[in-house]
Structures are given as structure tokens and as C-alpha cells.
């Protein structure tokens, strides 16, 4: 095992040790911890010392048992290799598929995270062995997606001018609560005041939109719950109400 692999293995051990501690509310013996983690008691003592150096409140001693006091948080750079892979793949998908502001945010977030990662994890990022393939679709979209996300966060109504699948134009007031990202486009899930129910609107069919000064009367989480219930019954699935 080379130094990089050894460093990654040690980081994963530390994370596993914290997870094991959090499974126990009472003191647990060093032997039990070492057995659960598949390491020697000597290695366990070194890892406990490392955690204490990071500020973890680990109480106890050999022969008595150990317990991790609540409130300890690892720095956000302490990821396992698979977790870094997930972040890389997710950020690259967003950078390639999302609207420009969100794509740029994904690139900046990954760069900021990489800047504070240990060198052995930076190597995983720079290796570029996880790629997002080209899309088969070219999305023609003019809608202001940051405005949509802002309205969802603020639980504000949107006034939109929409063209349905037959080309019929309409003006609608909607309560947006969810965005769905597909390879061929994006959907806004919203309560539609015109239809008095949940509908899904393709963003490439929205000619214009503007946020109103009105908050919608139901909480976003309640609308999401209603949508999930409708989706499970097949009555309001995005894939059955819109195609790309």
C-alpha cells in the first residue's frame, strides 16, 4: 500500500470509528470497537488519539471503555473516497446539464471544496476518471431559472405565460414547489390556480414569468407531500403529464 492509499484508508477508519461511537450511547470497550472495525487494538488507540487531537470529546481509557460526547462535528473535508466520487459526479452533471448560474455554482463549489481537501483526496478529483457523457438533447430555454428557484425558496406565486402541447397560449398564476431536471429538459411542479390542482410546466414552453408579491397560502412541504401522494397513485407524475 502506498502513502496515498494509506492516508485514505486512515481517513476512512476515522470516519468509521466516529460512526461506531455514535451507535453506542454507553461506554464501549476498546476490544469491542477494534473488533467492529476490523483493526488491532493498537491501531484503535492511535485513531482515538487522532480524533482527540481534532477536538473530539472522547471520554474513557483502556479497561474502562470509551464514549464520544455529543456535539463533535468533523470538518466538511473529511470524506470517504466514494463520497468524493459522488460529489464529483454530481457536480459535473449539474455543470453540464443545469442552467448557467447553477452550472457555474457547481463548478465554484467543487473548486472551493477541493481547495481545502487533503492532497490524497485532491488526487481523486484531479484524476478525472468520472465523466458525464454528452446529452442527446439540446434544450432551448429562455426562462429565468434563478427566478424560479428564488420563488420556490420564498414560497411566492409566479405569473407565467405558457404554451401547451397543442400550441394554445394561456396566462397562469402558479405556486411553484419543485424543479425536476431531466436530460431533455426541466419541469416546474406547481399548484395551478387556473386548473385548481397540481400541474407540471415545461420550462421551454414558458414565454415569460414574473414573481408576484404574494406568498402562496400553503407551505411548500405540504404541496410536496400532496404531489408525492398523487405521484404514487399515478395521477400526477411528471412523466405522464409532460414529454420531451
3-state secondary structure 178-234: EEEEECCEEEEEEEECCCCEEEEEEHHHEEEEEEEEEECCCCHHHHHHHHHHHHHCC
pTM of this structure? 0.63
Closest CA to 205 of 221, 184, 191: 184
Q: Which residues of 18-32 are buried (b: 16+ CB within 10 A; e: fewer)?
A: bebbeeeeeebebee
Which triple of cell numbers denotes residue 12? 476512512
pLDDT of residue 75: 58
One digit per residue, the tens of pLDDT, for the chain of length 244 reads 444 444 446 777 888 888 888 888 789 999 999 998 888 999 999 999 988 887 888 898 888 899 988 776 665 556 777 888 898 899 999 988 888 899 999 998 888 778 767 776 777 777 777 878 877 766 666 789 999 999 999 999 999 999 988 999 999 999 999 999 887 788 999 999 999 999 999 999 999 999 999 999 999 999 999 999 887 776 555 544 444 4
- Quick one: angle between helices 100-115 and 145-154, nearest 10? 80
Going by C-alpha positions, the residue among 91, 183, 188 that lies closest to residue 138 is: 183
Beta strand 185-192 with 197-202: parallel, antiparallel or unpaired?
antiparallel
Amino acid at each position: 500500500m502506498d502513502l496515498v492509499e494509506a492516508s485514505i484508508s486512515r481517513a476512512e477508519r476515522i470516519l468509521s470509528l466516529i460512526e461506531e461511537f455514535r451507535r453506542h450511547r454507553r461506554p464501549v470497550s476498546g476490544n469491542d470497537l477494534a473488533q467492529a472495525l476490523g483493526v488491532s487494538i493498537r491501531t484503535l488507540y492511535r485513531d482515538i488519539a487522532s480524533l482527540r487531537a481534532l477536538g473530539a470529546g472522547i471520554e474513557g481509557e483502556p479497561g474502562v471503555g470509551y464514549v464520544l460526547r455529543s456535539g463533535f462535528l468533523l470538518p466538511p473535508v473529511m470524506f470517504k473516497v466514494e463520497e468524493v466520487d459522488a460529489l464529483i459526479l454530481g457536480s459535473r452533471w449539474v455543470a453540464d446539464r443545469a442552467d448557467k448560474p447553477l452550472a457555474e455554482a457547481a463548478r465554484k463549489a467543487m473548486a472551493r471544496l477541493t481547495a481545502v481537501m487533503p492532497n490524497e483526496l485532491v488526487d481523486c478529483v484531479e484524476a478525472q476518471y468520472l465523466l458525464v457523457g454528452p446529452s442527446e438533447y439540446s434544450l432551448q430555454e429562455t426562462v429565468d431559472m434563478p427566478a424560479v428557484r428564488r420563488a420556490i425558496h420564498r414560497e411566492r406565486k409566479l405569473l407565467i405565460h405558457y404554451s401547451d402541447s397543442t400550441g394554445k397560449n394561456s396566462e397562469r398564476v402558479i405556486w411553484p414547489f419543485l424543479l425536476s431536471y431531466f436530460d431533455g429538459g426541466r419541469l416546474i411542479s406547481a399548484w395551478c390556480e387556473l386548473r385548481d390542482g397540481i400541474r407540471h410546466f415545461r420550462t421551454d414552453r414558458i414565454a415569460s414569468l414574473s414573481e408576484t408579491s404574494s406568498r402562496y397560502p400553503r407551505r411548500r412541504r405540504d404541496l410536496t407531500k400532496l404531489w408525492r401522494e398523487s405521484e404514487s397513485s399515478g395521477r400526477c407524475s411528471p412523466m405522464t403529464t409532460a414529454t420531451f
